[in-house]
Amino acid sequence: MIDRSSNRPGPRTRQVDPRPTALAPPINRVSLYPGTRVVVPPAWNRCTVYPTGLYWRQRDLMAEIQWLSRRGFIPVTPLGDSVDALTDYVQMPAGWRAYGVSVPVGGTVQIEVQHAKLGWFRLMLVDKWGHPGPGMLQAAIAPQPILVTYKNPNKEATAVYVIVDDPAWWSDAKNPYTLVIRRDWDPAKVDLSQVKMVAGLWGASPSVSAEFRGPSLTGPAVFPH
């Protein structure tokens, strides 16, 4: 028996509809973070039953992101090259959060989300335009990936963006998820400083709730250099 009781305030109502235009709230409900052009992700209805494949298809975050990008930049938390894990929770009441990872030419990165209620989570992997670019298709078509692997097929280092989706809001300050980043290269020996994380439709908005773990620096909202 799943306890769905919660003291959290309910989000604005939204009808689940596979059409991208129906997913977007009225323009006057889209707000920006003060002093920026980064949008505040609007609310989705909280998922109260175990999500099925149909539910995940109807919760079209890619269409949402494309629509929101017309109003401003999508918030993303850049991850330093020495970060190998972090704990965090999704933005409420949107139910998702995005992170950016730099990958060298030919490099492979594996990203996994861990949580006690793992069956309610999924990961999405997209490029700077919010689409599943080359090397990301498998993650895009999987019904509910909780682990994604990306091998950079390009001729230059690039940034990829992973979205943690938690539509039932199981993650919070007392019960965060863990995001594990595994690389097949030594960050100390590969210079990725030229990779632009703020590119395309993404705008930097570091998560103040994240705690990072890496070989050099760790702590709330600390990005290793």
Reported as a pLDDT band with limits 50, 70 and 90, residue 57 is confident
Q: What share of the chain is helix, strand, coil (3-state, %, to 5)?
A: 15, 30, 55
Better-predicted residue by pLDDT, 176 or 13: 176
Show the tokens assigned to 104.
């060298």
68-113 pLDDT, tens digit per residue, is: 999 999 999 999 998 999 999 999 999 999 999 999 999 999 999 9
119-171 pLDDT, tens digit per residue, is: 999 999 999 999 998 888 766 666 678 999 999 999 999 999 999 999 999 99
Better-predicted residue by pLDDT, 141 or 57: 57
Is the pLDDT score of 205 beyond 70?
yes
Show the tokens assigned to 4.
């769905």
17-51 pLDDT, tens digit per residue, is: 333 433 444 444 789 999 899 999 999 999 999 99
Quote the pLDDT of residue 134. 86
Strand, helix or coil for residue 110: strand
**β partners of residue 180:** 85, 112
Quote the pLDDT of residue 82. 87
Quote the pLDDT of residue 220. 36
Burial 170-186 (b: 16+ CB within 10 A, else e): bbeeeebbebebebeee
Quote the pLDDT of residue 13. 33
Residue among 165, 174, 169 nearest 48 (CA): 169
Residue among 62, 77, 70 nearest 30 (CA): 70
Residue 146 to residue 86: CA distance in whole angstroms:
15
Quote the pLDDT of residue 141. 60
Task: Specify the amino acid at residue 83.
Answer: V
Question: Which residues are CB-contacts of 107 (< 8 A; sequence separation ≥ 6)?
Answer: 151, 152, 157, 183, 184, 185, 190
Average pLDDT of the segment spanning 183-207: 93
Quote the pLDDT of residue 133. 87
Q: How many CB atoms lie within 10 A of CB 21?
A: 8
Instruction: Report the Cα–Cα distance between both ends of the chain, in Å, rounded.
Output: 46
